[in-house]
């Protein structure tokens, strides 16, 4: 399932603290120049590795990705840039590649400098450990994730392999937290860039756990170019890999007990549909009602109403798992709170909201908001 040309490694560098014993530093190496493309956070506060990565992908070629968890290297100023470059330079020198061919990715706590010396001391071990252990690499990028997120597809003669991490601070507006997509197909860098930018629209950019867009969100794609395959075939499978990774993140949402699909239709255009869908997906009142199985449909219609999208209230219709909740902007005939309460006990919830007769539509994915989410995030740094 590994695309030709790629090797993987992971080590413990004690990045969050010297006492931490889990894998927290990973490496992906390509044995030849690969096409590279990336999408990055829309947050105006961008971590040092994001700023470096945004510059490096412009070259269109890359060989390596070095990743760490436990430290975001965000809001660390000029020193953060220098630290990230010191690590990538050390990796480049050990592997005999150019300094501009190693892309850094980081995730973890904001505002703390990288433990550069501990990381540099592990570069040789990373090199020696290069092999086919994709599961170890996937574990090295985890923070509050409860399981590694890996997806694979066969694209004709080519392979597509993807990794992601993320369970909280998810409202991407580009990609999400950290993600890597690898293929051995021959793809021009600009074509690869177009593919991933198109693919994130209804995948990573359609999910929300808590409405927070990270300072570190990055999706990097590499194509090693070993296999000639129809690009349209590869594009389909890249999209499917990214879609599966996105849904893994939703299902692993911090403290989540339910996966929620929100389909908005009837708007003037797809953009308006997305705005309304994400407004509902990010509503804390909607999410807490879903957690408590509270049949308070007013929270859903209110969230759609304050989304800034033009709405005719008397045209709104809402169904939940196929059950009619709102018709013509008011409670549907025959609506029963106890019935909806039972429906909301399901672990998979589908909310369909029609806002009119337009052709716009968008599907978003979110979770409920539980006590556990508060517990996890109230003690994240400590």
* Structure tokens that stand for 181 in this block: 């997509």
CB 32 within 8 A of CB 208: no
Residue 100 main-chain phi, psi, to 5 deg: -90, 10
Continuous H helices in 57-105: 77-95
Phi first, then psi: what are they for 375, rounded to 5°? Answer: -60, -45
Q: Tell me if residue 176 is catalytic.
A: yes
Q: Which two tokens stand for residue 369?
A: 């908001």
Task: Please list, residue by residue across 82-112, b when 16 or more beta carbons sit within 10 angstroms of its beta carbon and e when fewer do.
Answer: ebbbebbebbbeebebeebbbbbbbbbebeb
- Candidates 146, 148, 140, 179; CA nearest to 25 is 140
Catalytic-labelled residue, pool 176, 215, 218, 275: 176
Vertex 181: Cα angle to 47 and 366 (nearest 5): 70
Q: How many CB atoms lie within 10 A of CB 127?
A: 16
Beta-sheet pairing, 158-165 with 178-185: antiparallel
User: For 75, phi and psi rounded to 5 degrees?
Assistant: 60, 40
Q: Hey, CA dihedral for 245, 247, 253, 257, is it positive or negative?
A: negative
Residue 14 has what DSSP assignment?
-
**So which residues are the catalytic ones?**
176
């Amino acid at each position: 399932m590994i695309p030709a040309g790629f090797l993987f490694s992971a080590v413990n560098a004690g990045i969050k603290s010297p006492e931490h014993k889990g894998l927290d530093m990973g490496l992906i190496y390509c044995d030849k120049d690969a096409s590279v493309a990336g999408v990055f956070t829309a947050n105006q506060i961008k971590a040092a590795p994001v700023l470096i990565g945004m510059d490096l992908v412009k070259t269109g070629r890359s060989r390596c990705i070095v990743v760490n968890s436990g430290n975001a290297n965000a809001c660390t100023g000029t020193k953060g840039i220098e630290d990230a470059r010191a690590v990538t330079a050390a990796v480049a020198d050990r592997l005999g590649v150019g300094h501009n061919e190693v892309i850094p990715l980081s995730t973890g706590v904001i505002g703390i400098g990288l433990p550069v010396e501990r990381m540099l001391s592990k570069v040789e071990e990373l090199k020696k450990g290069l092999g086919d252990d994709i599961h170890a690499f996937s574990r090295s990028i985890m923070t509050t994730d409860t399981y590694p997120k890996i997806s694979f597809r066969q694209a004709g003669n080519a392979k597509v392999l993807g990794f992601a991490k993320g369970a909280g601070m998810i409202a991407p507006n580009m990609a999400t937290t950290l993600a890597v997509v690898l293929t051995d197909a021959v793809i021009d860098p600009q074509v690869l860039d177009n593919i991933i930018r198109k693919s994130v629209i209804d995948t990573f950019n359609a999910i929300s756990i808590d409405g927070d867009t990270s300072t570190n969100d990055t999706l990097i794609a590499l194509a090693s170019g070993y296999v000639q395959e129809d690009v349209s075939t590869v594009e389909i499978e890249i999209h499917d890999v990214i879609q599966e990774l996105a849904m893994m993140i939703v299902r692993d949402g911090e403290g989540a007990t339910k996966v929620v699909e929100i389909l908005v239709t009837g708007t003037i255009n797809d953009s308006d549909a997305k705005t309304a869908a994400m407004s509902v997906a990010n509503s804390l009142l909607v999410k807490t009602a879903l957690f408590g199985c509270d049949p308070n449909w007013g929270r859903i219609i209110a969230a759609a109403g304050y989304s800034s999208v033009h709405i005719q209230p008397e045209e709104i219709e809402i169904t939940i798992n196929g059950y009619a909740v709102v018709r013509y902007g008011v409670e549907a005939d025959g609506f029963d709170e106890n019935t909806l309460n039972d429906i909301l006990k399901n672990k998979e919830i589908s909310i369909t909201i029609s806002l009119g007769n337009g052709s716009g539509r968008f599907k978003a994915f979110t979770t409920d908001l539980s006590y556990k989410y508060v517990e996890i995030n109230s003690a994240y740094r400590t």
